[in-house]
Amino acid sequence: MLKIENLHVKLEDEPREILKGLSLNVKAGEVHAIMGPNGSGKSTLSYVLSGRDGYEVTEGAVAFKGEDLLAMDPNTRAAKGVFLAFQYPIEIPGVATMQFLKVALNSQRKARGEKELSIPDFMRFVKERAAKLNISQEMLKRPVNVGFSGGEKKRAEILQMAVLEPSLCILDETDSGLDIDALKVVADGVNALRSPDRAMIVITHYQRLLDYIVPDFVHVLSAGKIVKSGGKELAHELEANGYAEFVEKVA
């Protein structure tokens, strides 16, 4: 589904390279965890995959379902099935969450040449998914992320993911700022979306999240490269020994 080859990325207005030859192959149905210390390039990877401005790819390629992902606008990527759950979701004052979901879903459907959902169908669809994430009707009426608690923001991100039904989900530090109860709700929401034709990349600093969202593969990202890959047990090793070993290795 996603094939990243020798990806080199720098900030547009800074010479320093952030990703230095990252390669990763993700197949449908797989959940890959990417772990690494602060500053290793985790968030950069998520932004480059979703198409944020301000980054320059100097070398390498990213193929998504066989197409050149890097050539696409963020909205085209979204319509093709890429979704980023933000570490810090953005507030959009005055736009009700329900309205936002409707506009987003319809834009994607339009781009794919599909019909818009009828309003009653859409409402039913959203309410059903919201209930699973403990998201109330009242919360759906509130403006997107405005005045949401940390936990509410993350649940709202997962709701967007559940409604937009992407084929590649990228979760950027979804566990940050969550207490254990909120973490469980979010993880349950994510697990409910696991399916044979959907892939996930879970970016996290801590192993804790991976107790709830159990990955098929774990990769250690350090200084812009994947320095070690393994199964879910690798996360436990990291938890026990820290990142020091890898940071030194690169240095």
Q: Examine residue 70 and tell whether it contacts other proteins (CB under 8 A).
A: no
Q: Which of 99, 134, 167, 176 binds other proteins (CB under 8 A)?
A: 99
DSSP string, 53-95: TTEEEEEEEEEETTEEGGGS-HHHHHHHTEEEE-SSPPPEEEE
Of 2-10, 25-33, 88-96, 189-197, the window that binds other proteins (rule: CB under 8 A) is: 88-96
Q: Which of 174, 208, 205 is nearest to 190 (CA)?
A: 174
Site for other proteins in 146-185 (CB under 8 A): 160, 164
Radius of gyration of the chain (CA): 18
| Cβ proximity of 248 and 230 under 8 Å | no
In the chain the first and final C-alpha atoms are separated, in Å, by: 32
Q: Which of 21, 37, 74, 151 binds other proteins (CB under 8 A)?
A: 74
Q: Examine residue 143 and tell whether it contacts other proteins (CB under 8 A).
A: yes
Q: How far is the CB of 28 from other proteins (least distance, A)?
A: 21
Q: Examine residue 87 and tell whether it contacts other proteins (CB under 8 A).
A: no
Of 61-69, 71-79, 197-205, 228-236, the window that binds other proteins (rule: CB under 8 A) is: 71-79
Phi first, then psi, for residue 175 (nearest 5°) are -85, -15
DSSP string, 178-227: --HHHHHHHHHHHHHT--TT-EEEEEESSSHHHHHS--SEEEEEETTEEE
Q: How far is the CB of 199 from other proteins (least distance, A)?
A: 17
Task: Give the tokens for residue 248.
Answer: 């030194």
Using the minimum distance from each CB to other proteins, give the nearer residue, 82 or 218: 82
Q: Which of 104, 193, 214, 247 binds other proteins (CB under 8 A)?
A: 104
Using the minimum distance from each CB to other proteins, give the nearer residue, 27 or 52: 52
Q: How far is the CB of 91 from other proteins (least distance, A)?
A: 8
Q: Examine residue 94 and tell whether it contacts other proteins (CB under 8 A).
A: yes
Q: Examine residue 193 and tell whether it contacts other proteins (CB under 8 A).
A: no
Of 137-145, 176-184, 188-196, 228-236, the window that binds other proteins (rule: CB under 8 A) is: 137-145
| Cβ proximity of 27 and 197 under 8 Å | no
| Cβ proximity of 9 and 54 under 8 Å | no
Q: Examine residue 52 and tell whether it contacts other proteins (CB under 8 A).
A: yes
Measured between alpha carbons, how far is residue 118 from residues 123, 125, 141 in Å? 9, 10, 19
Q: Around Cβ 204, how many Cβ atoms within 10 Å?
A: 23
Give the residues lining the site for other proteins (CB under 8 A). 50-54, 73-75, 77-79, 83-84, 86, 89-100, 102-105, 107-108, 111, 118-120, 123, 140-141, 143, 160, 164
